[in-house]
Amino acid sequence: MKNLFLYKYNVLLTYTPRKETNLEKYEKWLIDVDNPFFNSINEVSHYSNWKVLNRLDNFDFEYFDFLTFNTLSDFNITWHSEKVKKFTSEWRRLWGQAPKSKNLHLNARVFLLENLSDKPLEFQNFVGLNFIKKALKLNNYNFRLVRSIRDEADFECVKIEFTYDRSQISSEIIGKLIVGPS
């Protein structure tokens, strides 16, 4: 059975843990703690963690996450819940580049995207991301920016493409799945 990625809203989180982080330990924490936490929330449809393998020079993050919802209400309930606020505060303390800063975007940039397509994507172990600054034709991209949650967005749309073979992707960013929903 295929694992399909067809969700109305996708929160894209992009970040790099602070320099002294043991990345092997961090990725284990994603698998053992972070991913199970978010995937246990009823309103969350899908949560997955990714490591950047290749990127163009104008991108400076090493990891990204997809946090998906079927409705804006589900997003709002989750994003504004006390348990998520407490969990993300602990993430900043453990891994964030500026854990005590009020400028939360220094730890992670966060963007709410809306799916423009009715065509499901087949979820695979590799993903390509292309950020489009000014979209002339929305039908060429499958997600549009609804709003920037943390930091200013320098794009209007994102094209997300999954594949089982890394060599099949020609994208600005190529990511490898660390862990997804079980």
pTM over 0.85: yes
CA 38 to chain centre: 12
pLDDT at res. 158: 93
Helices (H), the chain: 23-29, 35-39, 72-79, 82-95
The stretch 39-51 carries a mean pLDDT of 97
Parallel, antiparallel, or unpaired: how do β-strands 121-122 and 143-150 relate?
unpaired
134 close to 94: Cβ distance less than 8 angstroms: no
pLDDT at res. 41: 98
Q: What distance in Å separates the CA atoms of residue 21 and residue 19, rounded to the nearest whole number?
A: 5
For 94-149, write each residue's pLDDT tens digit. Answer: 999 888 888 888 889 999 999 998 888 899 999 999 998 876 655 556 899 999 99
Tokens of 13: 């989180």
Q: In the chain, which ranges are E strands?
A: 4-5, 9-15, 46-55, 63-69, 109-115, 121-122, 126-132, 143-150, 157-163, 173-179
CATH of the domain at 29: 3.30.70.100
pLDDT at res. 140: 58
More confident residue, 171 or 64: 64
pLDDT at res. 101: 85
Structural domain total, the chain: 1
Range of the domain at 51: 4-179
